Amino acid sequence: MKIEAQAEITWMYGDEKTAKAVAEAVQVDNESMPAKLKKSLNVETRWVDGIVRTKIKYSGDIETLIKALDDLVFSVKIAEEIAEKV
């Protein structure tokens, strides 16, 4: 099924150091997205104080969006685990 969607996901960490580390790690992943996918999916992650916001714009198959969101959440989880160890 083809869809057009916009979403904003917010993660609240309460401290700037963790938010910055997570946002920077996830944004690098966003920027390394395959060129073909970049045509239909725009993902941008930024941080302010202890809050991380990811904005998503997408046009295409719903299955691809679901996979992209799953990848995003997994990337955030890994970045959180690494930030905790530093």
Residue 74 has a pLDDT of 96
Cα–chain center distance at 17: 18
- Confirm if 54 and 9 have CB atoms less than 8 A apart: yes
CA distances from 27 to 44, 53, 61, 85 (A): 7, 11, 23, 20
The answer, as to whether pTM is greater than 0.95, is: no
Query: CATH classification of 2-85 is 3.90.245.10, yes or no?
Result: no
Q: Is the pLDDT of residue 38 over 90?
A: no
Query: For 39-66, what is the mean pLDDT?
Result: 95
State the Cα–Cα distance between residues 74 and 77, nearest whole angstrom.
5
